[in-house]
């Protein structure tokens, strides 16, 4: 199984590849993301085999080795093999949202929230290449015609005119679920009506301006991730400048949204030279949205309520993953019926989420045992 790298070895309390068990936690890179679910799943299957559980359906356990970099060699190859064998899947359960034991503050305080991903955003990258007046850096043009001047105008314009904010499924159902679980009557009232106009638009705009993950759930995002120039020398004005833009599409976004969006900015800046767009090979639309009233969701919900809601109330809430999972490779095999949930208790207030991909990643032994209980129950429900 792959994990993300450890970049600051000295900052860890325990060596990140020791797997040491101390103070009630298993420490190490991957402890939360996602070795805990891999081992919990394997423990659950082992337990069921030992109990001589006889499944009525076939279960496939699929572990990719390159999930963090897109799953192009792992999950993609596994899916291709299953397809070649003519396998059709009832549904897929992959990693995804956690069980937030401290709720979703400030909206939900007294109820734990199990976030079950019913969709994930798409991934589209486009390079914009701009020509401009080059030459010796001692004689720069003063009319804004340099390639880098054009590029900086483009970046500024994009920051000032981001793609529109909108509340689409499953963020709609997420907000309704959060409203239902909220202890605050005002939030309860507002979120129960979040599908109605004009509240939906006001709410979308408000959420889009918030720091953190919620802003990305209500729009197709765009991020400039690299800038290059050609030629590249300290005393030469480059005649070409390009930027790499990464878009994360909302469900339902048009396929050519990225190109149309970028072209709208370039239209007004043609007098200084040519511009062109290059769409990258990795092109993924957002996934289908798995309905909350599907069999898959009902099974996951039941297993959560029976195994993870021991000493606390749990609200099971669908949501949109802003990142990607390996499950995208199985979309054609399962008709898009996919849920993304890691049955692992995390406390956001205590900083558990920051440890994922961060320093001092760890999982409590109690949360690990609960994850085994979840999978054991889930599999016995789903395979019966
Ligand atoms: Zn990860």
**CATH number, domain at 128?**
3.30.70.360
Q: Is residue 1 part of a domain?
A: no
Ligand 1 center to residue 268 CA distance, Å?
40
Q: Is residue 199 part of a domain?
A: yes
> What's 16's domain CATH number?
3.40.630.10
Q: Is residue 3 part of a domain?
A: no
Ligand 1 center to residue 324 CA distance, Å?
9
Ligand 1 center to residue 96 CA distance, Å?
10
Q: Is residue 4 part of a domain?
A: no
Ligand 1 center to residue 325 CA distance, Å?
9
Ligand 1 center to residue 305 CA distance, Å?
26
Residues 307 and 370 in one domain: yes
Check residue 155 and give its pLDDT: 97
Angle between helices 365-382 and 35-50 in degrees, nearest 10: 50
Residues 106 and 14 in one domain: yes
Measuring CA to CA, which residue among 122, 173, 165, 379 is closest to residue 290? 173
Q: How far apart are CA 281 and CA 70, in angstroms?
A: 13
Ligand 1 center to residue 228 CA distance, Å?
28
Q: Is residue 278 part of a domain?
A: yes
Q: Are 199 and 99 in contact (CB under 8 A)?
A: no
Q: Is residue 225 part of a domain?
A: yes
Ligand 1 center to residue 68 CA distance, Å?
6
Strand partners, 212: none
Residues 117 and 127 in one domain: no
Q: Tokens representing 160?
A: 């000032």
Mean pLDDT, contiguous 10-residue spans, the chain (384 residues): 94 96 97 97 98 96 95 97 98 97 93 98 97 95 95 96 96 97 95 94 94 91 97 96 98 97 92 94 95 97 96 95 95 97 96 96 97 98 96
Measuring CA to CA, which residue among 380, 290, 365 is closest to residue 96? 290
Q: Tokens representing 273?
A: 């030279």
Start-to-end C-alpha separation, the chain: 29
| Domain end position, chosen among 245, 269, 284 | 284
Give the chain's domain count.
Answer: 3
Residues 235 and 340 in one domain: no
3-state SS, residue 212 = coil
Ligand 1 center to residue 69 CA distance, Å?
9
Ligand 1 center to residue 357 CA distance, Å?
6
Write out the residues surrounding ion ligand 1, Cβ under 5 A: 33
Question: Is the model's pTM score more than 0.85?
Answer: yes
Residues 150 and 278 in one domain: yes
Residues 57 and 203 in one domain: no
Q: Is residue 274 part of a domain?
A: yes
Check residue 43 and give its pLDDT: 98
Check residue 268 and give its pLDDT: 81
Residues 268 and 137 in one domain: yes
Ligand 1 center to residue 245 CA distance, Å?
21
Strand partners, 56: none
Ligand 1 center to residue 4 CA distance, Å?
6
Ligand 1 center to residue 344 CA distance, Å?
14
Q: How far apart are CA 361 and CA 271, in angstroms?
A: 52
**Residues counted in the chain:** 384
| Domain end position, chosen among 243, 267, 284 | 284
Ligand 1 center to residue 168 CA distance, Å?
25
Check residue 311 and give its pLDDT: 84
Residues 18 and 75 in one domain: yes
Residues 80 and 16 in one domain: yes
Q: How far apart are CA 323 and CA 246, in angstroms?
A: 12
Q: Is residue 2 part of a domain?
A: no
Note down the domain range covering 313: 9-121+287-382
Cα 88 to chain center, whole Å?
Answer: 25
Residues 197 and 339 in one domain: no
Ligand 1 center to residue 95 CA distance, Å?
10
Ligand 1 center to residue 257 CA distance, Å?
27
Residues 129 and 273 in one domain: yes
Q: How far apart are CA 247 and CA 265, in angstroms?
A: 16
Check residue 12 and give its pLDDT: 97
Check residue 123 and give its pLDDT: 95
| Domain end position, chosen among 200, 218, 236 | 218
Cα separations in angstroms, 17 against 13, 68, 69, 106, 361: 12, 17, 20, 35, 10
Residues 132 and 238 in one domain: yes
């Amino acid at each position: 199984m792959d994990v993300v790298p450890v970049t600051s070895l000295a900052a860890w309390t325990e060596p990140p590849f020791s797997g040491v068990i101390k103070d009630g936690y298993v420490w190490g890179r991957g402890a939360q993301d996602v070795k805990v679910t891999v081992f919990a799943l394997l423990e659950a299957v082992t337990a069921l085999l030992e109990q001589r559980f006889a499944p009525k359906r076939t279960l496939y356990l699929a572990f990719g080795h390159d999930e963090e970099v897109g799953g192009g060699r792992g999950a993609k190859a596994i899916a291709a093999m299953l397809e070649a064998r003519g396998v059709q899947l009832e549904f897929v359960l992959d990693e995804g949202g956690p069980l937030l034991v401290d709720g979703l503050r400030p909206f939900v305080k007294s109820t734990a929230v199990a976030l079950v991903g019913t969709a994930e955003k798409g991934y589209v990258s486009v390079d914009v290449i701009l020509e401009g007046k080059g030459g010796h850096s001692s004689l720069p043009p003063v009319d804004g015609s340099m390639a880098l001047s054009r590029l900086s105008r483009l970046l500024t314009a994009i920051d000032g005119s981001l793609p529109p904010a909108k509340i689409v499924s499953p963020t709609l159902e997420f907000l309704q679920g959060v409203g239902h679980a909220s202890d605050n009557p005002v939030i309860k009232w507002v979120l129960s009506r979040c599908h109605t106009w004009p509240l939906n638009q006001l709410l979308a705009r408000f959420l889009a301006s918030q720091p953190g993950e919620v802003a990305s759930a209500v729009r197709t995002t765009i991020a400039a991730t690299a800038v290059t120039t050609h030629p590249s020398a300290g005393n030469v004005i480059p005649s070409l400048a390009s930027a790499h833009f990464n878009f994360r599409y909302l469900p339902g976004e048009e396929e050519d949204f990225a190109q149309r969006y970028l072209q709208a900015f370039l239209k007004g800046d043609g007098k200084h030279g040519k511009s062109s767009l290059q769409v990258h090979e990795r092109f993924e639309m957002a996934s289908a949205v798995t309905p909350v009233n599907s069999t898959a969701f009902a099974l996951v919900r039941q297993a959560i309520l029976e195994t993870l809601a021991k000493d606390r109330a749990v609200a099971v809430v669908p949501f949109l993953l802003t990142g990607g999972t390996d499950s995208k490779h199985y979309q054609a095999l399962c008709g898009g019926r996919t849920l993304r949930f890691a049955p692992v208790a995390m406390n956001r207030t205590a900083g558990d989420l920051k440890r994922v991909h961060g320093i001092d990643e760890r999982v409590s032994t109690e949360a690990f045992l609960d994850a085994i209980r979840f999978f054991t129950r889930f599999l016995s429900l789903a395979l019966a």
